[in-house]
Amino acid sequence: AQKVTQAQTEISVVEKEDVTLDCVYETRDTTYYLFWYKQPPSGELVFLIRRNSFDEQNEISGRYSWNFQKSTSSFNFTITASQVVDSAVYFCALSEAYSGGGADGLTFGKGTHLIIQP
């Protein structure tokens, strides 16, 4: 069975601080996908990034960066120079290998509520 753990329930930082959201996953598959989604107060989940299990390269997109380490089964998300607009609930999720002709649901962590104070 697969599992995603986001140990940080809530994080509060002051604007312009850097912040890292932790994600640890469990899966028996060798091929899988990891995701981060953002859920702002409006409620709609916004896709941020997908990473497949064969690609351990870190990724940077503007102020966002992701660190994928298979050795520790972690996929952490860092926001540099945080802004008030980054305030949201962030979810890490896992999908096992996409099986041809079928679909796989996502297994989500419980989310981290990030509060950026001005």
Partner 1 sequence: DVKVTQSSRYLVKRTGEKVFLECVQDMDHENMFWYRQDPGLGLRLIYFSYDVKMKEKGDIPEGYSVSREKKERFSLILESASTNQTSMYLCASSLAVVQFFGPGTRLTVL
Q: Retrieve residue 57's tokens.
A: 């390269």
Among 28, 41, 62, 102, binds partner 1 (CB under 8 A): 102
Contact window for partner 1 (CB under 8 A) among 17-25, 32-40, 62-70, 79-87: 32-40
* Distance separating alpha carbons of residues 8 and 82, to the nearest angstrom: 17
DSSP states along 2-19? -EEE---SEEEEETT--E
Contact window for partner 1 (CB under 8 A) among 19-27, 55-63, 71-79, 91-99: 91-99
- The answer to whether the CB of 55 falls within 8 A of the CB of 48 is no
User: 48 Cβ partners below 8 Å, 6+ apart?
Assistant: 35, 36, 37, 38, 64, 77
26 binds partner 1 (CB under 8 A): no
11 binds partner 1 (CB under 8 A): no
Binding residue count for partner 1, defined by CB under 8 A:
24
Note the residues at the interface with partner 1 (CB under 8 A). 33, 35, 37, 42-47, 50, 91, 93, 95, 98, 101-103, 105-111
